[in-house]
């Protein structure tokens, strides 16, 4: 039997699933089909050149994909080069990137970052994968590259640190425990330099802080490590002068990089990187610090000269960083932040959190809408490697709810950078439970299928929809992100429409792409007809949607709505049921950890048994009024709206942290 590849190059055309993706493909482009699983769905792209150089720009072809087609093609730039390079010792030293040009051509840039590291051919610059589900196609593509490179791990193999965020009334900032204060003062009097340890202890003891992370740069500090500094000679630090890639220079010139290019950066020798990180992190750990946030990671790509190139240097630094984190912070306490490149992503074996956005700029009105849309689209790729981090925000801010809602469905950690005393506790209580835990969604939040080829920041017509799943239901966040974006002329984010209009769109149950699989994964016999109940967080509206039906949504700029999509299931043939969750939380459905329908019998009524986290107003849909509700076997009162089928009951604050209630609703 002959298996026909689904991706081919012939007569100057790259074809996937019978559709032409690129035309004008040059003769020097070479296709090699992936081995192992997915043999006929993916292929690696290589190219040859006349001369060996440290940087090449290869023409790949002209895009001719029709957006909205039912077949999806994902292209992944591959950092690692195969042993088919002219010189075997140059393998793994080049980085490939896709870019466009003013002729609407797709180009592949191949660069080492070290003029001494050159090649004239590359076998595996880009990986192309085709499929019918866009999200599965991207995941499969990254996993093929993972098997091929063996230098990084996919997100689902990584440990996500158990950071918690607690919220309490801010009296702690106004009145301290006097006894603890006196004890601290006594300690300080006996120490000439109390140091970091005392500060961390005080933060945890007096202010209820559970976890402390320290922020440092990839090179140590933002300017690196001072060469030959007393006591630090063993790091072999030397001044290095950053050289930026032409692609970066053309997109975003940076005055800080210009300064470093002249003054230099103190770079620890890569063979000493593990020693450097270990000494830094072991000291921090001894002070009670729980992890690190590692910034300006992109600086390493500019320092590859003399070190075998940008990929070799980045890989050496990241493997050293991860080894030190594993040794000193056993909960995998590391946030990768920020300015990431594929050199880093393809080198990360254990780092589980990656910054996916620019900073939160509270005083820049142009930054808020583009912040949400850029993270959602960045997550399509970054979310395959790590859990994207949406950055901190202010809870007391005109756009606070907008930012908070997005983070609640982003599957990410929740951070706020409030000034002490300036808090919106009503908003924070929609994000964080009294025990300090959050109702984190199961996946990285990504744009829905119908948003993948739209521009919800600039086109004046599209709303952004972001989907995610919880254990028993899904959620779709809808955001009006129009009016601001990156300006190619001024090289900054700016408002391009001061008065963007009100937009209307639709939401449907299958916007939650993984919802059917979620229901089927609940066990044998779990099937879903496609019917769902949709609860709107802001309006409080509850609607039962037949399969394929849509729900309209209208939003002004900087407005949002969260739709909790709950599959309807049969309960003993006597009622239809769907759990919603904690109605006052942004991610209501995150509170529902288990939902099991039980048929009635001679001695028991048909019922639904749920495992619930948290406290507050709990809501569910039931097609008939429940006969009885019990919480941990104690009967509780509830209300029932016969018009909508909404059941509401109150769940008290549990005495234990992370407590799971058992809720039984008899029908």
We report the CATH number of the domain holding residue 334 as 3.20.20.70
Residue 523 lies in a domain: no
Query: Is 70 exceeded by the pLDDT of residue 606?
Result: yes
Range of the domain at 88: 7-150
| Alpha-carbon distances of 505 from 291, 533, 541, rounded to whole Å | 42, 18, 17
Longest dimension (CA), the chain: 84
Q: What integer pLDDT is reported at residue 85 of this predicted model?
A: 31
Query: Is 50 exceeded by the pLDDT of residue 165?
Result: no
Three-state secondary structure call for residue 203? helix
Domain boundary at 120, 150, 180, which? 150
Owner of token pair 């040859």: 48
Residue 512 lies in a domain: no
Query: Is 70 exceeded by the pLDDT of residue 494?
Result: yes
The 3-class SS string of 558-599 reads CCEEEEEEEECEEECCCEEEEEEEECCCCCHHHHEEEEEEEC
Residue 517 lies in a domain: no
Residue 238 and residue 383 in one domain = yes
User: CA 457 to CA 464: how far, in whole Å?
Assistant: 8
Residue 287 lies in a domain: yes
Report whether 518 contacts 469 (CB < 8 A). Answer: yes
Query: Is 50 exceeded by the pLDDT of residue 81?
Result: no
Q: What integer pLDDT is reported at residue 190 of this predicted model?
A: 52
Phi, psi of 130 (to 5 degrees): -125, 145
Q: What pTM was estimated for this model as a whole?
A: 0.91
30-69 residue pLDDT tens: 999 886 544 458 999 999 999 999 999 999 999 985 554 4
Instruction: Take residue 184 and report the two structure tokens written for it.
Output: 């601290």
Of 221-230, 244-253, 345-354, which gets the smallest average pLDDT?
244-253
Query: Is 80 exceeded by the pLDDT of residue 526?
Result: no
Residue 102 lies in a domain: yes
Residue 387 lies in a domain: yes
Residue by residue, DSSP assigns 220-265 as BSTTB--TT-TT-GGG--EEE-----HHHHHH---HHHHHHHHH-E
The average pLDDT across 426-430 equals 97
196 CB-contact burial (10 Å; exposed 0-12 / middle 13-18 / buried 19+): middle
Residue 106 and residue 255 in one domain = no
User: CA 543 to CA 541: how far, in whole Å?
Assistant: 7
Count of domains observed in the chain: 2
Residue 58 and residue 91 in one domain = yes
The average pLDDT across 338-346 equals 91
pLDDT band at 602 (very low <50, low <70, confident <90, very high): low
Q: What integer pLDDT is reported at residue 263 of this predicted model?
A: 93
The average pLDDT across 570-586 equals 96
Give every CB contact of residue 577 below 8 A, 6+ residues apart in sequence: 568, 569, 570, 571, 597, 608, 620, 621, 622, 623, 665, 667
Query: Residue 393 pairs with which residues in a beta bridge?
Result: 416
Residue 308 and residue 337 in one domain = yes
User: CA 315 to CA 313: how far, in whole Å?
Assistant: 5
Owner of token pair 């016969």: 642
Residue 177 and residue 130 in one domain = no
88-130 residue pLDDT tens: 234 479 999 999 998 989 999 999 999 999 999 998 999 999 9
282-317 residue pLDDT tens: 999 999 999 999 999 999 999 999 999 999 999 999
Residue 548 lies in a domain: no
Domain boundary at 433, 463, 487, which? 433
Q: What integer pLDDT is reported at residue 82 of this predicted model?
A: 35
Average pLDDT value for the chain = 89
Cα angle value 118/241/389 (rounded, 5°)? 90
pLDDT band at 490 (very low <50, low <70, confident <90, very high): confident
């Amino acid at each position: 039997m002959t298996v026909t590849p689904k991706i081919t190059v012939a007569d100057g055309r790259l074809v996937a699933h019978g559709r032409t993706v690129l035309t004008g493909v040059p003769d020097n482009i070479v296709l090699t089909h992936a081995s192992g699983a997915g043999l006929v769905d993916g292929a690696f792209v290589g190219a040859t050149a006349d001369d060996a150089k440290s940087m090449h720009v290869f023409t790949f072809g002209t895009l001719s994909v029709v957006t909205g087609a039912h077949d999806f093609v994902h292209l992944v730039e591959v950092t690692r080069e195969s042993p088919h390079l002219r010189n075997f010792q140059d393998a793994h030293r080049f980085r490939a990137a896709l870019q466009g040009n003013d002729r609407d051509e797709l180009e592949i840039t191949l660069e080492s970052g070290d003029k001494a590291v050159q090649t004239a051919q590359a076998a595996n610059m880009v990986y192309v994968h085709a499929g019918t589900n866009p999200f599965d196609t991207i995941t499969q593509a990254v996993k093929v590259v993972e098997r091929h490179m063996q230098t990084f791990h996919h997100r689902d193999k990584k440990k996500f640190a158990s950071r918690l965020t607690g919220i309490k009334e801010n009296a702690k900032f106004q009145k301290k425990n006097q006894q603890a204060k006196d004890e601290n003062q006594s300690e300080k009097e006996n120490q000439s330099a109390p140091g970091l340890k005392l500060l961390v202890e005080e933060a945890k003891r007096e202010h209820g802080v559970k976890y402390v992370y320290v922020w440092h740069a990839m090179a140590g500090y933002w300017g690196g490590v001072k060469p030959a500094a007393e006591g630090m000679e063993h790091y072999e630090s030397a001044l290095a002068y950053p050289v930026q890639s032409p692609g970066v220079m053309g997109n975003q010139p940076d005055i800080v990089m210009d300064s470093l290019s002249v003054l230099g950066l103190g770079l620890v020798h890569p063979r000493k990187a593990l020693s450097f990180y270990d000494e830094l992190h072991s000291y921090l750990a001894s002070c009670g610090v729980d992890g690190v946030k590692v910034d300006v990671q992109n600086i390493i790509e500019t320092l590859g000269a003399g070190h075998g190139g940008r990929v070799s240097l980045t890989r050496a630094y990241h493997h050293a960083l991860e080894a030190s984190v594993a040794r000193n912070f056993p909960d995998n306490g590391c946030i990768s932040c920020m300015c990431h490149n594929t050199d880093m992503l393809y080198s990360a074996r254990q780092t589980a959190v990656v910054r996916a956005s620019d900073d939160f700029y509270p005083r820049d009105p142009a930054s808020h809408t583009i912040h949400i849309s850029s993270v959602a689209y960045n997550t399509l790729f970054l979310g395959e490697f790590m859990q994207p981090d949406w950055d901190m925000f202010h809870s007391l801010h005109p756009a606070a709810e907008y930012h908070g809602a997005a983070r609640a469905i982003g599957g990410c950690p929740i951070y706020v950078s409030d000034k002490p005393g300036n808090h919106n506790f009503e908003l924070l209580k929609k994000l964080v439970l009294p025990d300090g835990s959050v109702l984190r969604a199961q996946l990285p939040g990504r744009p829905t299928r119908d948003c993948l080829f739209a521009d919800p920041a600039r086109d004046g017509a599209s709303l952004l929809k972001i989907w995610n799943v919880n254990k028993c239901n899904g959620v779709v966040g809808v955001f009006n992100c129009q009016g601001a974006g990156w300006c190619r002329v001024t090289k900054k984010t700016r408002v391009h429409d001061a008065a963007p209009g009100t937009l209307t769109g639709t939401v449907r149950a299958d916007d939650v792409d993984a919802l059917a699989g979620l229901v089927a994964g609940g066990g044998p016999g779990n099937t879903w007809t496609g019917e769902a109940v949709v609860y709107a967080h802001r309006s409080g509206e509850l609607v039962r949607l037949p399969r394929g039906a849509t729900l309209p949504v209208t939003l002004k700029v900087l407005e949002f709505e969260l739709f909790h999509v709950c599959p309807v299931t049969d309960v003993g043939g006597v009622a239809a049921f769907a759990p919603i969750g904690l109605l006052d939380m942004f991610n209501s459905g995150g509170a529902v950890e288990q939902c099991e329908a039980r048929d009635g019998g001679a001695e028991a009524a048909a019922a639904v048994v749920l495992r619930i986290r948290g406290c507050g107003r709990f809501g569910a849909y039931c097609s008939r009024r429940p006969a009885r509700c019990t919480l941990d076997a104690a009967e509780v009162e509830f209300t029932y709206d016969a018009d909508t089928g909404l059941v509401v009951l109150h769940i008290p604050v549990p005495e234990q942290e992370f407590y799971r209630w058992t809720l039984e609703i008899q029908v």
